Chains A and B, each alone.
Chain A
Amino acid sequence: MTSAPGTSLAVARETKNKVTARKRIAVQGLIKRFNTGRGEFVAVDRVSFEVCQGEFVALLGPSGCGKSTILNMVAGLLPRSDGRILIDDDVVETGRVNPKVGYVFQRDTLFPWRTVEHNIGYGLEIAGMPKAERATRVADAIDKAGLTGFAQSFPRMLSGGMRQRAALMRTLILEPEILLMDEPFGALDTHTKLEMHKTLLDIWERERQTVLFVTHDLGEALTLASRIILLSARPGRLKDDFDVSFPRPRDPVDLRETAEFGRLYSHIWHSLGEEFRRTKAD
């Protein structure tokens, strides 16, 4: 992999993906400007990339590089300043929810007044699913998330990891084909994070959703993703694009011990390190 500038890189990926799979997310010339008190600044600068069916793409970059901003625009939570975003060839409109898309927040957004089962069942409940059917699905999801016995607990009684597993299940129970994740494990300690990686890998390797996963943690990106898109420090530009072809199923702990992991880690780290230094220099 070389660090070719934006346009030729996008072309290279396009030709490569044409043969492999149908594209689900297409980001084209995306620009986001913010107006602050001291004038306008560019958070995201002409970013283009595509995510194909069944890909697990990590959007990696130093903090403040606009990666969450990109994700929020893909989700339709934030208006874009310029450019286009297509999901399955439909233009994403701000404020319109696409039922095929699931979103997991960085912050804990479980409803504190609902028990775990009512949190996980929220989407099904408002979709009007009959109670009996819902109960079966929710119980199944609770088991899958390793939260058996905590169905009646309120979120504050759970640990951070358990809460994020519940939040993940709350999204996954709606069976989204496309999953957008905004540093979902960013607030967890290392050990809990590894457990969450295991949970997510188990689910993803079985169900193969199309995932766009925002993170600043290179180890996390390498563990989970099949492809890493590297963004530059502010303003966020596409810097590089790496394939992560470690065999699956992956074990988040064992994987880190392998030589290939180390090689790819230091290779990307070199590129990422420049951006970290630029962030610091700002």
Chain B
Amino acid sequence: MLNHRSVILFWQLAILVLLLLVWQWGFEWSKALLPKAYVPKILDPYFVAKPSLIWQSFLRLGCLNDPGEFLTCVQSTDNNLWTATLVTLKNTWWGFLFGSTTGVIVGLVLGRSDFLSGVFGPYIIAFNSIPRIALVPLVILIFGLGDWSKVATAWLVVFFVVFFNTFEGARAVDRDQIAAARLMGAKEFTILRTVVIPSALAWVFASLLPAVSFALIGVIVGEFIGAERGLGKLIIEAEGRANASEMMVAIFIMMFVGILLALVVRSLQSYLLRWQPQFERSE
């Protein structure tokens, strides 16, 4: 009997190798083998670059061509790959953190108060109906081209996602659990701390994973529209030079940034929600 996991791993690697092969040489192979009209344009390295070119661009943008010159190279170029990555990562993280904290706080407050949710409900729905991206130029006008406008953009996207989930979570708390806590002597604040928040946490976390990728999207869009540094800025610069391989470098780095952030949230989630069956440690 074949080991299930190794079979899956085999196919995963096989597909990866195939993709890389086609990407690297597919265009030349099809040019050599097929009539001109049938050569797929999508494989043209001018549009999609190719692995070897991407690797070279990575080395150049990352100041890795000459290990001895790494420091001087990083210091001399303003938006090199590493500063760009750090800037984007940092802004995403802060935007995510501010957005989710404020979303949780406002969600809990409105979720526990019928009066406040009644008053603010229409405003929140109206504001949420604005496509957030439409606000980015305004945000840049207010906060400038620096990091704060990116944090604010990420905040805009993250806040509502987290707010709505926390709000629902705070509403969905089991009334009997609250009654039980009250009958054991818990006062309002204790109930909030020991029943409402833990109970709503599952809902909060359900929104945090999408929220972290939204934060990254927000930051990148902000960088597209106006920025001095960052991975989004790197893409815009490469677009100006019609350099697909540099864009690809930035895209891949973004992918890793996204994975990294998701992993952080995921591990926090599986610790805080370890009482839920899906996060049970397999022992």
What are the interface flags for A91-106 relative to B under an 8 Å C-beta threshold, 1 for contact and 0 otherwise? 0000001010111010
B164-203, CB < 8 A from A: 174, 176-177, 179-186, 190, 194-195, 198-199, 201
A109 close to B180 (CB less than 8 A): yes
Q: Which of A111, A126, A154, A156 has a CB less than 8 Å from the CB of B185?
A: A126
Identify which of A77, A112, A113, A170 contacts B179 (C-beta below 8 A).
A77
Contact between chains at A99 and B185 (CB < 8 Å):
yes
A96 CB to nearest B CB, Å: 10
Closest CB-CB distance, B170 to chain A, in whole Å?
A: 15
- Taking CB atoms, residues of chain B closer than 8 Å to A111 are 177, 194-195, 198-199
Majority secondary structure of chain B interface residues (helix, strand, loop or mixed): helix
Contacting residues, chain A, for B186 (C-beta < 8 A): 126
Q: Smallest distance from the beta carbon of A154 to chain B beta carbons, Å?
A: 4
For the complex, give the distance between the alpha carbons of A101 and B179 in Å.
13
Are B275 and A113 closer than 8 Å at their CB atoms?
A: yes
What is the CB-to-nearest-CB distance from B174 to chain A, in angstroms, rounded to a whole number?
7
Chain B residues, Cβ within 8 Å of A139: none
If A111-B195, A113-B275, A156-B277 touch, whether A123 touches B177 (CB-CB below 8 Å) is: no
Residue A75 is within 8 A (CB to CB) of chain B in the complex: yes
Q: Is the CB of B184 within 8 A of A75?
A: no
Distance (whole angstroms) from the CB of A228 to the closest CB of chain B: 25
Given the known interface contacts A111-B195, A113-B201, A154-B275, the answer about A126 and B176 at a Cβ–Cβ threshold of 8 Å is: no
**Bound CA–CA A103/B184 (angstroms):** 8
Identity of the chain A residue whose Cβ is nearest the Cβ of B195 in the assembled complex: A111
Q: Scoring A residues 46 to 90 as 1 if CB is less than 8 Å from chain B, else 0, what string do you get?
A: 000000000000000000000000000001010000000000000
Determine whether the beta carbon of B275 is less than 8 Å from that of A123.
no
A-B contact count (CB 8 A): 57
Which residues of A (154-196) have their CB < 8 Å from a CB of B? 154-156, 170-171, 174
Per the bound structure, the CA–CA distance linking A127 and B274 in Å amounts to 26
Is B275 touching A170 in the complex (CB atoms < 8 A)? Answer: no
- Asked whether B275 lies within 8 Å of A112 as measured between CB atoms, the reply is yes
> A126 near B190 (CB under 8 angstroms)?
yes
Provide the residues of chain B in CB contact with A213, threshold 8 Å. Answer: none
Whether B184 and A122, one on each chain, are in contact in the complex, defined by CB atoms closer than 8 angstroms, is: yes
| A107 located at the interface, meaning its Cβ lies under 8 Å from any Cβ of chain B in the complex | yes
A156→B176 contact, CB < 8 A: no
CB distance A109 to B184 under 8 Å?
A: no
Task: Tell which of A77, A126, A156 touches B184, judged by Cβ atoms closer than 8 Å.
Answer: A126
Question: Is there an interface contact between A97 and B182, defined as CB atoms closer than 8 Å?
Answer: yes
Alpha-carbon distance between A102 and B184 when the two chains are bound, in angstroms: 7
A65 and B274 alpha carbons, distance in the complex (Å):
41
Q: Which residue of B lies closest to A112 (CB)?
A: B275
B177, B180, B190 — which one has the most chain A CB atoms within 10 A of its CB? B180
The CA-CA distance from A170 to B186 in the complex, in Å, is 14
Chain A residues positioned under 8 Å from B274 (CB to CB): 154
In the assembled complex, which residues on chain B have CB atoms less than 8 Å from the CB atom of A114?
A: 198, 275
Q: When each residue 242-280 of chain B gets 1 if its CB lies under 8 Å from chain A and 0 otherwise, what string results?
A: 000000000000000000000000000000011111000
Q: A107-B176, A109-B176, A112-B275 are in contact. Are A97 and B183 (CB under 8 A)?
A: yes
Q: Which residues of A contact B276 (CB under 8 A)?
A: 112, 156
From known contacts A107-B176, A109-B176, infer whether A122 and B181 are also in contact, taking CB-CB under 8 Å: yes
Residues of A within 8 Å of B180, CB to CB, are 103, 105, 109
Contact A113 B177 (CB under 8 A): no
* Cβ-closest chain B residue relative to A102: B183
A interface list, Cβ under 8 A from B: 75, 77, 97, 99, 101-103, 105, 107, 109, 111-114, 122-123, 126-127, 154-156, 170-171, 174
Which 5 A/B pairs are nearest by Cβ-Cβ distance? A123-B184, A109-B180, A113-B198, A154-B275, A113-B275
Q: 18 A-B contacts, Cβ less than 8 Å apart?
A: A75-B183, A77-B183, A97-B185, A101-B183, A102-B183, A103-B180, A105-B176, A109-B174, A111-B194, A111-B195, A111-B199, A112-B276, A126-B185, A126-B190, A126-B194, A154-B274, A171-B184, A174-B185
Residue ranges of B at the interface with A (Cβ–Cβ < 8 Å): 174, 176-177, 179-186, 190, 194-195, 198-199, 201, 273-277
